[in-house]
Amino acid sequence: MTLLGFARRCAGRAAPLAALGAVLALAACAPATMIDRGGYVADTHYHARSADSRIRFLVLHYTEGDEADSLEELTRENVSAHYLVPEHPPLRDGKPVVLQLVPETQRAWHAGVSEWQGTTELNAASIGIENVNSGPHDTPAGRTWAPWPPDQVAAIISLSKDIVTRYGIPPTRVVGHSDIAPQRKIDPGPAFPWKQLYDAGVGAWPDDATVQADLAGRAPDAPADVRGLQMKLARYGYEVATDGVLDERTRRVFAAFQMHFRPSDYSGTPDAQTDAIAQALLDKYVDKTAPALPGATETAP
Catalytic residues: 130
Q: Which long-range contacts (CB under 8 A, 24 or more apart) does 257-262 make?
A: 257/179, 257/233, 258/190, 259/176, 259/178, 259/186, 259/189, 259/190, 260/175, 260/176, 260/178, 260/179, 260/194, 261/194, 261/205, 261/206
Q: Is the peptide bond before 182 cis (omega within 30 degrees of 0)?
A: no
Distance of CA 127 to the CA centre of its chain: 6
Q: Residue 107: how many CB atoms within 10 A of its CB?
A: 19
Give the alpha-carbon dihedral of 206, 298, 200, 278, to 10 degrees.
Answer: 20
Q: Which residues pair with 142 in a beta bridge?
A: 139
Q: Assess contact for 129 and 65: CB atoms under 8 A.
A: no
